[in-house]
Amino acid sequence: MNGPIRRQILIPIVAIQTATIAAITAAGVWLAAARDERRNVERLAAVIDVLDRSTFPLTSQVLGRMHGLSGAHFVVRDAEGRVAAASDEALAAAAPAAVDVPDFRRPEFRSWRQWPTVVAEGRPYYGARLRAPAGATLLVLYPESSWRAALWDVAAAPVGLGLAAVALTAQATRWFAERIGRRVHRLRGQVARIADGDFGEIEPGEGDDEIADLIASVNAMSRQLRDMRRAIAQAERTHLLAQLAAGFAHQLRNTLTGARLGVQLHGKRCGATGRDTSLGVATRQLELAEEQVRGLLTLGRLERRPNRPCDLAGLVRDVAGLLEPTARHARVALDVETPAAPAVADVDEPSVRAAVLNLAWNALEAAGPGGRVGFRMHAGPDTIVIDVGDDGPGPPPELAPAIFDPFVTGKPEGVGLGLALARRVAEAHRGGLAWDRDAGWTRFRLTIPRTNPEEAKTADEPRPDRG
């Protein structure tokens, strides 16, 4: 069946219920009619028995009373066929002759359908003939219209109730079908919007049925598609960012290397006093810049280096040491807590160093003069967590949902690349980068697995037999 779903639901249910109610009503009417017909026939038969056994004269007055009891008309004809008495004088003049009416036989006349039919005054009657005293004949005439009227009286109530039940059923089914149709229409609209790229959700409504489950599933699909679109857009932006950063880094690497070699050559030629550490600081800063450039090149895939075991605890202490002159100049206190034992993980050291350094630079700038920056590390059996926090005011609330997106920054002179690159490093190592604000501190947690899942999978694969 084609057409709207409400029609597909409404028509079959109403048809089945109508047929069922019609069958029940017909059965009830038939039983009630049969019972009423049997009662009327038996009542008339009882009147006939009284008249048949009577010894009183059958006058018009007596026949009129019998008509009131049974609803039948009575006509008495004498031996010569003349009307001697009648319950209805007008009908007596048009009554058929006695010879035209069959004799009354009780065992056979149990139903009006078993009574013979005669016509008087153009109307049909159920008729029978009995013998009366003095050779007279008693004609019994029961109007067929009375039986039909009695049949309608019996059937009116069941038929009315049946029609009312059909109407109520149709109305209830229509309401139910339209309710389902509206929900399906809303769901169809949502699917159409999803096809157009709008991944909004709709309210499941108050129902707790299969359609509500379907709406919940479509809403879940909308959320997944929305997340996938956001992830794809983020991946495209991050890829573009990495390419741009790697392009700039490729140009800067040679310049930084030349500057570092020039400072080192100057230190060898000119020497430095014991208390003058400026050339050493400059050299370390240039080396730090070179490491950042190498990390950017790794992100941009312009340099590919395999992961190697690296002591991340030592890496954190090294980054803190590189930042110490800058922190002292900015009047920011550095707190470093790392395990005494090495925290080794298989990583690309330059990119991880660049990520930690970006987090530390952000923390230094956010803490401001008189602030504090803390480095914490938790080395678990499977992962290592590097926590970089500051007691600054924290990022603006409106930036919180997109804080890791490229070019998103709350600093007037910021570019918005540090956190995006740090997250790229975490994702490249199958780890993660998260942040929170608690007790006046803003903390960024870089999680790095100890073993790269891809390398572990490769190591577990069976090698061919070189026999």
User: Mind listing the pLDDT tens digit for each residue in 216-256?
Assistant: 888 888 888 888 887 787 777 667 766 666 666 666 766 77
Which residue(s) pair with 127 in the sheet? 141
Axis crossing angle, helix 278-299 with helix 210-270, rounded to the nearest 10: 140
DSSP code of 141? E
Specify whether the CB–CB gap between 147 and 40 falls below 8 A. yes
Two structure tokens written together for 252:
């800067």
Instruction: Give the span between the Cα atoms of 306 and 304, in whole angstroms.
Output: 7
* Mean pLDDT value across the chain: 78
Residue 12: pLDDT over 60: yes
Domains of the chain and CATH, by start:
5-153 (3.30.450), 195-235 (no CATH), 306-459 (3.30.565.10)
Specify whether the CB–CB gap between 350 and 294 falls below 8 A. yes
For residue 404, the model assigns a pLDDT of 80
Two structure tokens written together for 317:
């202490």
User: Mind listing the pLDDT tens digit for each residue in 24-42?
Assistant: 877 777 777 777 777 777 7
For residue 452, the model assigns a pLDDT of 56
Gyration radius of the chain's alpha carbons: 53
Q: What angle do CA 164, 169, 175 make, to 5 degrees?
A: 130
User: Mind listing the pLDDT tens digit for each residue in 332-365?
Assistant: 999 999 998 999 999 988 888 888 988 998 899 8
User: Mind listing the pLDDT tens digit for each residue in 377-427?
Assistant: 999 989 999 999 999 988 888 887 878 877 777 666 656 677 888 888 898
Instruction: Give the span between the Cα atoms of 438 and 432, in whole angstroms.
Output: 19
